[in-house]
Amino acid sequence: MTDTVSKEQRSANMRSVRSRNTQPEVRVRQIAYALGYRFRLHFRKLPGTPDLAFPGRRKAVFVHGCFWHSHKGCRRASIPKSNRAFWRAKLARNASRDAEELAAIKKQGWRALVVWECEIKNEPRLAARLRRFLR
C-alpha cells in the first residue's frame, strides 16, 4: 500500500511531531504541580533526559507516547501498514533505548516512573500514582 500523501507532506507531518512540551507531558506537569511538587524539566544531567526530575527526591518521570515507545497492549501502539520493516526496527530501537536509560538511571541511585500517554485520561488515578511515587 502506498502512502496517501506526498513525500513532502509526510515529511512536514513528521517534523511537526514534538518531543518536548507535548500535551500529555504538560498535563502530567500540571497534575504534579497541583499536588504541591516542584520539579526540573528535561533534566539533562540524567540519561534519557527525563521529562520531570525531582532532584531532592532522586526521582524522575518519563512521559511516553504509546506509539513512539511501543506501549504493550495499547491500541495506539500499532505498527503502520506501510514500510513495516522500517517501523518495526525504529520502534524496537526506541524501546531498547528506553530500557537502557531506565537501567542507567537506576544505577545512579534514582527511581524512575514511566507515564504512558493513554494513562493521562484518568487524572484521579494518575494523580494518586504520582503521589505514591513521589512520597
Q: Name the residue among 44, 13, 42 with its Cα closest to residue 25.
A: 42
C-alpha cell at 97: 533505548
Q: Cβ(60)–Cβ(111) under 8 Å?
A: yes
User: What pLDDT digit, counting tens, does each position of 51-66 carry?
Assistant: 999 999 999 999 999 9
Mean pLDDT rounded to a whole number for the chain = 93
Q: Is 2 a residue whose pLDDT tops 70?
A: no
Give the confidence band of 1 by pLDDT, cuts at 50, 70, 90. Answer: low
- Rounded CA separation 5/7 (Å): 7
Q: Structure pTM?
A: 0.86
Identify the three-state secondary structure at position 47.
Answer: coil
Q: What pLDDT is recorded for position 20?
A: 79
- Full DSSP string of 19-41: SSS-HHHHHHHHHHHHTT---EE
- Rounded CA separation 73/68 (Å): 14
C-alpha cell at 65: 507516547
Domains and CATH numbers, the chain: 29-134 (3.40.960.10)
Give the confidence band of 21 by pLDDT, cuts at 50, 70, 90. Answer: confident
